[in-house]
Amino acid sequence: MLAFILRRIVQSALVMAVVTFIAFGLFNFTGDPVAFMTGQNATTEDRQRLRAELGLDQPFYVQFAHFAGNAAQGEFGLSLRQARPVSVLLKERLPATLELAVAAALLAVLVGIPLGVYTALRRTSWLSHVLLAGSLLGVSLPTFLIGILLILVFAVQLGWLPSFGRGTTVAFGWWTTGLLTASGWKSLILPTITLSLIQMTLIMRLVRSEMLEVLRTDYIKFARARGLTDRSIHFGHALKNTLVPVMTIIGLQLGAIIAFAIVTETVFQWPGMGLLFIQSVYFADIPVMAAYLCFIALVFVVINLIVDLLYYAVDPRLRIERVTTA
């Protein structure tokens, strides 16, 4: 067990090192920052002094070590476009993205799992057929189109819900939340549905196929032979084993939700990190791009690590196999 955890942690650290290196490499494309910062009249000595102050006269690996050290503390320098520290920008945008992602994940799980169980248990009902056909449509509908359609219907035509922004937010220290005001909740509805719809259909289809698989196994037949009630078989015995792979996928989907938040945030002008990132790509704002890259990689590495460990903890067969092969 310890060896397994250690191996995973080493692998995660390697991934982070590679990503940090790529982020560092991005800075080589920006051109000379000294020429950028000094005016046309600056003397060569001025430039040399600035170069030394910024540490740009150091060899490559020293600069990288410096960059990685700062990155580990969350410092990525100043945004080229807004001339403010990138760490402050990211911190401002973090609550918006997290609230959206968590709301979308919750909605996807709370709706997706019951629908999956229903379509597996009532395979032939008309509602199951409708749901399955709808899920195929859901997979074929790109996220941004769902957002546009929702805006068209609920914001433009009906005028019920706002089409952009977070509404009024309340600040707690550096954390801002839209969950305490009515306008905040209203603004959250459309982006949440947009972001969760694809994950919801994925979870539904996965739960359905896993459930069907489990219902065919011998221990379910045996449970039926013992005369247990359907309710006890379906929810006491089958569902529990269905949820093991589902849990892994949900963990990994959490990462996908944060990635697709870029699209949703663009459609709804949601002031989160995804919008910040896509704007930094337009304007070649390298420090912001680098910081977002490292942050997203960290999120993914941590999620993957937790999912692996959870899987290991939940499924006893994995542990036995380790012992016998080692």
Q: Could you list the residues that contact other proteins (CB under 8 A)?
A: 11, 15, 18, 26, 29-30, 136-137, 139-145, 148-149, 151-152, 156, 163, 252, 255-256, 259-260, 262-263, 266-267, 278, 281-282, 284, 286, 289, 293, 296-297, 300-301, 304
Q: How many other CB atoms are found less than 10 A from the CB of residue 296?
A: 18
Nearest-approach distance from CB 319 to other proteins, in angstroms: 21
Nearer residue to other proteins within complex by CB, 99 or 308 = 308
Nearest-approach distance from CB 170 to other proteins, in angstroms: 28
In this structure, are residues 165 and 175 in contact, taking their beta carbons and an 8 Å threshold? no
Beta strand pairing call for 175-177 and 170-172: antiparallel
Nearer residue to other proteins within complex by CB, 54 or 299 = 299
Nearest-approach distance from CB 13 to other proteins, in angstroms: 12
Nearer residue to other proteins within complex by CB, 169 or 253 = 253
Nearer residue to other proteins within complex by CB, 246 or 286 = 286
Nearest-approach distance from CB 77 to other proteins, in angstroms: 16
Nearer residue to other proteins within complex by CB, 25 or 236 = 25
Nearer residue to other proteins within complex by CB, 95 or 255 = 255
Nearest-approach distance from CB 307 to other proteins, in angstroms: 9
Nearest-approach distance from CB 194 to other proteins, in angstroms: 13
Nearest-approach distance from CB 141 to other proteins, in angstroms: 6
Q: Name the H helices within the chain.
A: 2-26, 33-37, 44-54, 60-72, 86-121, 126-140, 143-150, 182-215, 218-225, 230-231, 239-268, 273-282, 286-314, 316-325
Instruction: Tell me which DSSP letter residue 28 carries.
Output: G
- Residue position matching structure tokens 């009249």: 41
Phi, psi (rounded to 5 degrees) for 28: -70, -15
Nearer residue to other proteins within complex by CB, 164 or 185 = 164
Cβ neighbours for 35, distance < 8 A, ≥ 6 positions apart: 47
In this structure, are residues 303 and 252 in contact, taking their beta carbons and an 8 Å threshold? yes
Cβ neighbours for 118, distance < 8 A, ≥ 6 positions apart: 127, 128, 131
* Tokens standing for residue 297: 């990689």
